[in-house]
Amino acid sequence: MPTVGRTSLVRCLVALDTSRGPAPEAVFVVDDRRYPDPPLVLPPTSVPVKVLLSGGRGPAAARNVGWRAAASTWVAFLDDDVVPGPTWLEQLNDDVRDLPDHVAGSQGRVRVPLPPERRPTDAERGTAALAHARWITADMAYRTDVLAEVGGFDERFRRAYREDSDLALRVCGAGYELVAGDREVLHPVRPSGFFASVRAQAGNADDALMRRRHGRTWRRRAGASPGRLRLHAVTTAAGATALGLAARRRRIAALVAGAVWAGLTGEFAARRIVAGPRTPTEVARMAVTSVLIPPVACAYRVLGAIRHARVRPYSPTRDHRGPRGWTR
Angstrom distance (rounded) from CA 316 to CA 107: 23
Rounded distance, CA 137 to CA 270, Å?
A: 32
Question: What's residue 324's pLDDT?
Answer: 38
Total-model pTM: 0.92
The DSSP string of 69-109 is H--SSEEEEE-TT-EE-TTHHHHHHHHHHT--TTEEEEEEE
Residue 231 has pLDDT above 50, yes or no: yes
Q: What is the pLDDT averaged over residues 30-41?
A: 93
Amino acid, single-letter form, for residue 252: I
Rounded CA-CA distance 148/72 in Å is 12
Which tens digits make up the pLDDT trace of 117-168? 999 999 999 999 999 999 999 999 999 999 999 999 999 999 999 999 999 9
Q: Alpha-carbon torsion 75, 78, 35, 127, what sign?
A: positive
Q: Is pLDDT above 70 for 325?
A: no
**How does DSSP classify residue 47?**
S
At 284, is the secondary structure helix, strand, or coil? helix
pLDDT at 262: 98
What pLDDT, on the 0 to 100 scale, is given for residue 321?
Answer: 52
Give the bridge partners for 211, in sequence order: none
180-196 mean pLDDT = 94
**Closest to 126 in 3D by CA, of 298, 235, 275, 229:** 275
Q: What's the alpha-carbon Rg for the chain, to the nearest Å?
A: 22
Residue 25 has pLDDT above 80, yes or no: yes
Identify whether the C-beta of residue 222 lies closer than 8 Å to the C-beta of residue 169. Answer: yes
Q: Sign of the C-alpha dihedral, residues 94, 222, 121, 204?
A: positive
Distance of CA 119 to the CA centre of its chain: 24
Specify which residues 69 forms β-bridges with.
Answer: none
pLDDT in tens, 67-79: 999 999 999 999 9
